């Protein structure tokens, strides 16, 4: 009897799919543990070593509260996400003109009171909502018009982002293409987009080769030179490079130090390890954000890293299962789009940490330290839970109607 009361109590509080809830809570717990461990550089020389993790915990709590609110919102309300796209574009223009530069990229909007916000994180959700909205209204008669609407709506934020955050722009475009593929947009149209993007990419890569290796900080093309350097370092053979470079570590760029120390952290972790046992985290640049997966591999070992990877894979699989049950197109595409966004971003972050991709600025969703990313990712989980809750309520309503008719 007591177990039924407890179950009913939690069912009233935690709406939506319990698997998604479990993944969300597990990622939050890992985040608190690993950010606390990886923030040694932030607490060095400060009075309290709890400061960075408490600051991080505040965003986790704020994100959790957002999830608790959004899980109860009817899915039709999320159609208003199309209005978020022009808002995101305005903020991106603001950042281009008045944004604050951090780590060589002008990505942050700073408002009164010192509040900082990264509009590109908002743009990801805005594009997913925009694409899901128009895909849900696509049919054979209006497919062409909807296709061009989605392309234009996706291209706008990508163009505004690309100069300062190439990886985010490419990821947004890739997610939109996948959503259109799942939305049964003509594959010929999608292939045309892929070929055009590939041609543009090849042209840009060729132009990058003409840039000098070193540029002044105030040069508007300096960011393009950064792309060139990262691509060249990634493509260079690394046969004994680490042994040579390790002796002059303080003289080389952060990007290269990140890659070398990341490999050292992974090697230290082995198959199984214990949280808090890492040492490379103390010297690894951005250990608490972009390269936190390397810290996870060092402190939790290969098996711990696989477990984190499987959480994101499980999220994608579960979202696909829920989407198949959706009777309405909008929540179906919204579920798939958000799951794709979170999972692909996670795979990119992990791929960078293990040197499968060039260095990017993509955080590990819900685990890396960063207030904007945590809040936006939590909002995404809240929307997914609301979509799953909507379907559960419809299934229960259908069962009730069937029982009444049977009686």
Is 359 among the domain residues? yes
The domain in which residue 255 lies consists of 15-406
CB atoms within 10 A of CB 112: 5
Is 368 among the domain residues? yes
Note if the pTM is more than 0.85.
yes
The residue that leads in pLDDT, 407 or 289, is 289
Alpha-carbon distance 275 to 267, whole Å? 15
Q: What is the pLDDT of residue 184?
A: 85
Q: Residue range 20-41: average pLDDT? A: 88
Q: Which of 9-18, 304-313, 320-329 has the lowest mean pLDDT?
A: 9-18
109: β partners: 117
Grade residue 314 by pLDDT with cuts at 50, 70 and 90. very high
Contact partners, residue 232, CB within 8 Å, separation at least 6: none
Grade residue 235 by pLDDT with cuts at 50, 70 and 90. confident
Alpha-carbon distance 361 to 5, whole Å? 46
Assess whether pLDDT exceeds 60 at residue 246.
no
The residue that leads in pLDDT, 381 or 274, is 381
Complete DSSP assignment for 97-109: HHPEEETTEEEEE
Q: What is the pLDDT of residue 177?
A: 96
Is 144 among the domain residues? yes
Overall number of domains in the chain:
1
Q: What is the pLDDT of residue 309?
A: 96
Q: Residue range 387-402: average pLDDT? A: 59
Mean pLDDT in the chain? 83
Is 239 among the domain residues? yes
Is 153 among the domain residues? yes
Q: Which of 25-29, 101-105, 403-407 has the lowest mean pLDDT?
A: 403-407
Is 1 among the domain residues? no
Q: Which of 106-110, 111-115, 263-267, 301-305 has the lowest mean pLDDT?
A: 111-115
**pLDDT tens string 162-207:** 888 888 999 999 999 999 999 989 999 999 999 999 999 888 878 8
Assess whether pLDDT exceeds 50 at residue 319.
yes
Is 227 among the domain residues? yes
Grade residue 239 by pLDDT with cuts at 50, 70 and 90. very low
Is 36 among the domain residues? yes
CA angle 320, 324, 326 (to 5 degrees): 115
* The dihedral sign for the CA sequence 250, 360, 161, 27: negative
């Amino acid at each position: 009897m007591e177990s039924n009361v407890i179950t009913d109590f939690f069912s009233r509080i935690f709406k939506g799919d319990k698997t998604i809830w479990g993944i969300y809570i597990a990622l939050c717990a890992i985040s608190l543990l690993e950010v606390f461990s990886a923030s040694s550089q932030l607490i060095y020389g400060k009075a309290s070593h709890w400061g960075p993790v408490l600051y991080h915990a505040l965003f986790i709590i704020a994100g959790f509260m957002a999830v608790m609110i959004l899980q109860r919102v009817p899915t039709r309300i999320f159609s208003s996400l199309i209005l978020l796209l022009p808002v995101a574009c305005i903020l991106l223009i603001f950042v281009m003109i008045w944004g604050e530069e951090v780590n060589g990229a002008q990505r942050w909007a700073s408002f009164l009171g010192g509040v900082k916000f990264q509009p590109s994180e908002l743009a990801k959700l805005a594009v997913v909502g925009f694409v899901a909205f128009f895909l849900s209204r696509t049919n054979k008669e209006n497919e062409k018009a909807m296709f061009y609407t989605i392309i234009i709506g996706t291209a706008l934020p990508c163009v505004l982002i690309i100069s300062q955050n190439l990886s985010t722009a490419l990821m947004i475009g890739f997610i939109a293409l996948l959503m259109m593929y799942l939305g049964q947009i003509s594959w010929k149209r999608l292939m045309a987009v892929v070929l055009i993007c590939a041609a543009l990419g090849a042209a840009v890569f060729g132009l990058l080769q003409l840039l000098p290796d070193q540029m002044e900080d105030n040069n508007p093309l300096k960011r393009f030179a950064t792309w060139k350097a990262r691509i060249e370092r990634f493509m260079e053979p690394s046969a004994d490079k680490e042994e040579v470079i390790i002796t002059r570590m303080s003289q080389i760029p952060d990007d290269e130090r990140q890659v070398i120390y990341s490999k050292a952290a992974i090697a230290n972790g082995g198959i199984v390890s214990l949280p808090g046992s890492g040492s490379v985290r103390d010297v690894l640049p951005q250990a608490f954000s972009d390269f936190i997966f390397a810290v996870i591999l060092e402190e939790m070992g290969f098996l711990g890293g696989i477990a984190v990877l499987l959480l994101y894979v499980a999220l994608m699989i579960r979202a696909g299962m829920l989407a198949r049950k959706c009777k309405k197109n909008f929540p179906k595409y919204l579920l798939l789009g958000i799951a794709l966004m979170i999972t692909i971003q996670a795979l990119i972050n992990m791929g960078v940490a293990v040197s499968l991709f060039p260095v990017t600025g993509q955080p590990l969703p819900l685990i890396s330290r960063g207030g904007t990313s945590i809040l936006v990712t939590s909002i995404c989980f809240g929307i997914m839970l609301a979509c799953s809750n909507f379907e559960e309520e419809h299934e229960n309503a259908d069962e009730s109607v069937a029982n009444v008719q049977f009686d």
